[in-house]
Amino acid sequence: MRIIFAFIIPVFLFSCGNDSGKAKMFCETTCQKDTIKFINETHKLKPYIYISAANCLPDSVIWSYSGLGTNRKLSFDDFGGHKFNLNEKYMSCYFNDTSYAWLLFNDCSNGRGYFAKIPFNKSQNIQRKGSAFNKFDPKFAVADGLVAYTDKGNIFVEEMATGKKAMMTFGKMLDLDYDAMHEFIDSVNISPTHVWAKVLMGKDWKAIEKNITLE
């Protein structure tokens, strides 16, 4: 199957008022008034993912495709157990035909990266991670077609089109706070053949790297 980048229907976001005095955000905070829409316009069945809004925040994720006959729906809060602040510039969606879609985004409040592998088949469960290295963060370089995340002791890499995987270990578990990732993992550079990361090991920063094979 092929990864196909979703066509993004333009949406209009409006300021939620005076942000003076607030802590610096990872990305601009806005009031989401309209549904954010990702649609694969090149596929004959036009699979899509919609993110509806309520009270200026993302409310629900709705996904389907022409001919499926039903929409699947999930509260957007279920991706992280809390309310999110989104900016469409820090989001992307990749469709693998009508099998599943990958939704990647960063929370504007603290920059934390998330992704979800969302199947169209009702018998399959959503896979989600709240410790993702998304390329919306300028210090996280991740090659197109890949998703990457950590479990505090390793970096895992997956190819979105094929599901092939690889990993690199830190050699120990880190006392890592995903809401403050850069305090523990300064930067990463991830390609289909190599993983590099600058990691805080004890009191010292250490560069760790490994050649990988996705399989």
pLDDT band at 7 (very low <50, low <70, confident <90, very high): very low
76/53 Cα distance (integer angstroms): 10
Convert the pLDDT of each residue in 74-101 to its tens digit. Answer: 999 888 778 888 888 999 999 999 999 9
Backbone angles phi, psi at 192, to 5 degrees: -65, -15
With a CB cutoff of 8 Å and minimum separation 6, the contacts of 84 are 57, 58, 76, 77, 105, 107, 108, 109
Per-residue confidence (pLDDT) for residue 170, from 0 to 100: 97
DSSP 132: B
Query: How would you classify residue 105: left for phi > 0, otherwise alpha for psi between -120 and 50, otherwise beta?
Result: beta
- Stronger pLDDT, 11 or 187, i.e. the higher one: 187
Per-residue confidence (pLDDT) for residue 24, from 0 to 100: 67
What count of other Cβ atoms lies within 10 Å of the Cβ of residue 89?
12
Q: Which long-range contacts (CB under 8 A, 24 or more apart) does 110-114 make?
A: 110/26, 110/179, 110/180, 111/26, 111/27, 111/137, 111/181, 111/182, 112/80, 112/178, 112/179, 112/181, 113/137, 113/140, 113/149, 113/181, 114/79, 114/80
pLDDT average, residue stretch 176-187:
95
Is the separation of the CB atoms in 130 and 176 below 8 Å? Answer: no
pLDDT(16) > 70: no
Per-residue confidence (pLDDT) for residue 109, from 0 to 100: 87
Convert the pLDDT of each residue in 17-73 to its tens digit. Answer: 334 334 467 888 678 889 999 999 999 999 999 999 999 899 999 999 999 989 999
pLDDT band at 171 (very low <50, low <70, confident <90, very high): very high
To the nearest 10°, report the CA torsion of 36, 41, 47, 50: 10
What percentage of the chain reaches a pLDDT higher than 90?
Answer: 73
